[in-house]
Structure 1
């Protein structure tokens, strides 16, 4: 009797333990997933969380049913019922998770597109010719979900045709750069399937052909097109999920099988392969998740940034980096993988204990051969993730391009050492102000920008009163674009002072010299007897900036560390990247007073920081006028630089000083920020530039409607100092004052970018 009671108690404890372990698995899975979604930025349960929780629920239910079937189903009929239930449940969960039901509802239909609704085309009997820039057709559609836009041509197209599909939703009725999909229809095609997948779409704007003169024979526009292919893709997803759900009970029964286990367990090869399980599997899971989350962080925070830029930043020393960026990466890209990895480990431990409690395992560990299977699965998933995410950020394209050889530098680079450059007898001083991420785009639309309000009224005023080179007419705000390897600070500094792009071999590997075989602006000015200072509020050695300016040539580095050493800030003072621009401008005034007291011309090159992406920094001088931190930071930077210029104008050295105010590059677009909402998809973002007191003659026409890059600033700055340049070109840049055609005007930015990505022997010699 007592034995029976003890056995009954043991069975009750066993049942309770099994329930506890199972509940622990469920709670751990849901909490871990929810917390990781929250850290990414809120808990998007409907859009992102629901499918994930549906998968977890499916796994939990199928696994529970499997355990009950194994442990409790004694009779044949209950075993059959259990197997059928598992098969049906797996099918139901796979159906919902794969999204077949939603896909079936998205039937294709043809848009009504009368020729009169097409704008900026010349149309004759269905034959379209692009007549003006930005040709398009805009249609109201009001779709809950839009899947694929298919352009049908009535005849095979005779050349490649660029296609762009933009869309709006009911909450935001403006077309923007973030809400678009680009596609290129190949020569000979009769249709173009543009892969769009968006919800709550109210309007579409379809651009067929970008270049003036492009021709095609239009047929029709189909929404939710490519239906059969979409359905087949979802059917494949269904089979994948169904296989996964069915694999769970199969693996469980395989785990529970005792046949042949002892023989396998004692095999020496099995022992060796299973040994690193405890390290390899958690590490593999973490790396898989880390890769995925890091790529998502880059795309959301930095926008469509080139992989070469990502690589340069990754290989740069972390010293001096803004703590806000590091915090953002840790919170949204590192902590979620850590939490999810811990979640998986805990679920594994609970599940293993549960199997032991059910006496499926004779000891508290899983078989070695099972460990090897898990290791292989994790390895395959990791490799697949790297492949997919690498494609997302252009890593594989970068590697392909790096293997291709270009002669672009051989053909178009003008060696400054072999060019006659003559400076005037009386030399002007130079103050070169690099403003972090400063764009002409920050002006309002009436002034040539893209914003609803003018965040830079003072810089707009300086541009109108002095010389600004613009890609627009009527003195509208504009400027140069950034090419490959120039759209970040180090690349921007190199591009504007030496007219080349910066490639990855430089970053993170520089020591005392930086591109030693290159001739830059500082080399010329050093030879002409200029005193040279580089002033910044961050660590000068970040991304090799101090090495570059010391190499080209003999700049005194006045960085954040120098500010502490010279007593400009306390030893423990650290905000943002080092110290704010308010202090930088006071240090600049001190430097200018000192430099101007010497009987030598000077070059003060300075770099601001308060407008760094994603939010900028607000100091005590800044107002809270606008509804975004970045907008207030830009407005504050605008006021501070204007006050600094007014101070310079009151100094004795002003008459003999040329001032260049320019952005180091365009900003990285934070797609989640309200600041960037007014950005139009058709607007070309350009770097701000203004030159005060240029010492050269020029025609007004040379400053407007220009297509140029930041590399053109090198010879243009030389000319602004009064230097005569034989041929008006240095490096890959052109003196804009001369009116001579730039490389971008001659061959277009896309072709130049394509060549700059490739391996170039001439460029390699700069090392």
Structure 2
């Protein structure tokens, strides 16, 4: 009897796990869209404090009910079956053959459910592709990577300030058809006007409006790493060995480090907990950034200790705090690099602040329009400041939105989604007026060049300085091939970038 009870418990457990994996396989693409397994793996290994709890609620509501109900019913049946077997034994009616056959059939069925759940989950979240990439190393870095630490930089006599605004999920997709977007009526007319009047490197070709986002830079911290250091965030299974407050991509050499070495004050402002996703670790270790986040706002008394909206505090507060921080930074005699990250446009459906207006009949469109308005108003405020003349502003979406339902019809139409990008008040002029095909990594050297900095290489990391005529890697290789190479394992990346064990 004891052996049968153990088998019954294991059977119920296998059914629960199998059905749970089936539901997880459905939930992940429904909630996050088509994401690489590396992104799932990364978020399993980094600090999760400060995350939006709606994801946990969504997981519980979608994934747990059916496995729990079916397993509960099966458990009750197993208990009743054990009672029946006990009764048979007590009355001397040994029906071992029938009972053993029943146990075998039940166990095989449960193993089938478990096996199907594992297989479904493996394909749904891309574990199969991940192992293929690991077992087929790439030589991309050996052929094209330029270590930024080995490059010589020359700054202008009067160093320019940099304001870099990461805009959550901000795409050129939201623009109107005339500007290469996917809508009859633009959701971001204010940002479109900024792009029309400033530098985008599209040069009138709407097909190249914005920048392409490789798989390994398709979530926030990976996008921030890619745009500031020119490399993807490629995570091995044992990745937790380096994601910590002591080590985060020690082999990278970012714009923060370059600017700090040349006398800049670096600061990062965001409305959530900076520890989430390891963002705090990356920016502290790569440029010694002063971190101003949700926790800082509480410490400084900007918000009450019990205050929490969306991921921490909403963007309408973020923009006001940005003005205060910029005024303080500009009051010193030190050049500054001020980086900030918006959040209201995060999926699912975004956060409607008190100033959002229902213009389009759906929440996400209204939030996107509100963000466009607020970012533009901040830019206009900056342009009115006495220190603006010596300041360059970079506006960049961090990655494509992960809201799968909102983009369903757009993607089915074959539209090629890209992120928004514009440089305002650049100190440099492109040497060519050709329309450029660019990715996340090209923003790193291009941002540095926009400050009037010159360097003895047209490429930094895997990014190309767009002010030069040198082809970007996506222009040279094509996006599909470039993206495929990035997802594959690289011995060079592991040794020199991931663990920083040597210098090339």
1:337 aligns with 2:70: no
Deviations 1:494-513 (A, max 9, x none): 11001111012496551122
Contact 1:447 1:477 in 2 (8 A): no
- Cα gap change, 1:418 to 1:477, in 2 (>3 Å): closer
Contact 2:22 2:120 in 1 (8 A): no
**Structure 2 counterpart of 1:618:** 352
**Structure 1 counterpart of 2:153:** 421
Contact 2:227 2:443 in 1 (8 A): yes
* Residue number among 211, 216, 231 corresponding to 1:500 in the alignment: 231
Deviations 1:682-710 (A, max 9, x none): 211111001001111225624x2x22111
How far has the Cα of 1:360 moved from its partner?
6.2
**Structure 2 counterpart of 1:545:** 279
How far has the Cα of 1:348 moved from its partner?
4.5
Deviations 1:63-86 (A, max 9, x none): xxxxxxxxxxxxxxxxxxxxxxxx
Report the 3-state secondary structure (helix = DSSP H, G, I; strand = E; otherwise coil) of the residue aligned with 1:722: coil
Distance 1:620 1:378 in 2: 51
1:694 aligns with 2:426: yes
How far has the Cα of 1:610 moved from its partner?
0.5
* Residue number among 389, 401, 404 corresponding to 2:133 in the alignment: 401
- Cα gap change, 1:427 to 1:297, in 2 (>3 Å): same
How far has the Cα of 1:581 moved from its partner?
0.5
Higher relative contact order (CA 8 A, sep 6+): 2
Distance 1:377 1:556 in 2: 57
**Structure 1 counterpart of 2:502:** none
Bigger Rg over Cα: 1
Distance 2:80 2:231 in 1: 58
Correspondence list, 1:154-169, <5 A? none
How far has the Cα of 1:621 moved from its partner?
1.3
Deviations 1:477-520 (A, max 9, x none): 72111113101101100110011110124965511221112111
How far has the Cα of 1:298 moved from its partner?
1.5
1:652 aligns with 2:386: yes
1:382 aligns with 2:114: yes
Distance 1:395 1:410 in 2: 26
Correspondence list, 1:560-575, <5 A? 560-575=294-309
**Structure 2 counterpart of 1:662:** 396
**Structure 2 counterpart of 1:636:** 370
1:601 aligns with 2:355: no
Contact 2:19 2:113 in 1 (8 A): no
Contact 1:507 1:544 in 2 (8 A): no
How far has the Cα of 1:549 moved from its partner?
0.3
1:711 aligns with 2:444: no
Contact 2:163 2:337 in 1 (8 A): yes
Report the 3-state secondary structure (helix = DSSP H, G, I; strand = E; otherwise coil) of the residue aligned with 2:166: strand
**Structure 2 counterpart of 1:295:** 25
Distance 2:90 2:61 in 1: 41
Distance 1:519 1:382 in 2: 45
Deviations 1:585-604 (A, max 9, x none): 11111110110011000011
**Structure 2 counterpart of 1:430:** 162
Distance 1:469 1:665 in 2: 18
Distance 2:205 2:439 in 1: 20
**Structure 2 counterpart of 1:535:** 269
Report the 3-state secondary structure (helix = DSSP H, G, I; strand = E; otherwise coil) of the residue aligned with 1:519: coil
Distance 1:539 1:491 in 2: 16
Give the total of aligned pairs: 489
Listed as ranges, the gaps of 5+ residues in structure 1 are 1-264, 266-270
Report the 3-state secondary structure (helix = DSSP H, G, I; strand = E; otherwise coil) of the residue aligned with 2:266: strand
- Cα gap change, 1:516 to 1:356, in 2 (>3 Å): closer
Correspondence list, 1:123-162, <5 A? none
**Structure 2 counterpart of 1:735:** 465
CA RMSD of the aligned region, Å? 2.4
Distance 1:321 1:716 in 2: 31
TM-score of the two chains, using structure 2 as the length reference: 0.91
Distance 1:437 1:491 in 2: 13
Stretches (4+) displaced over 6 A? none
Correspondence list, 1:240-279, <5 A? 272=3, 274=4, 276-279=6-9
Report the 3-state secondary structure (helix = DSSP H, G, I; strand = E; otherwise coil) of the residue aligned with 1:677: helix
* Residue number among 179, 184, 189 corresponding to 1:447 in the alignment: 179
How far has the Cα of 1:314 moved from its partner?
3.0
How far has the Cα of 1:362 moved from its partner?
5.3
TM-score of the two chains, using structure 1 as the length reference: 0.61
Distance 2:195 2:89 in 1: 77
How far has the Cα of 1:630 moved from its partner?
1.0
Distance 1:629 1:340 in 2: 36
Distance 2:287 2:361 in 1: 43
Report the 3-state secondary structure (helix = DSSP H, G, I; strand = E; otherwise coil) of the residue aligned with 1:604: strand
Higher share of residues assigned strand: 1
Distance 2:388 2:208 in 1: 25
- Cα gap change, 1:361 to 1:721, in 2 (>3 Å): farther
Report the 3-state secondary structure (helix = DSSP H, G, I; strand = E; otherwise coil) of the residue aligned with 2:216: coil
Contact 2:217 2:399 in 1 (8 A): yes
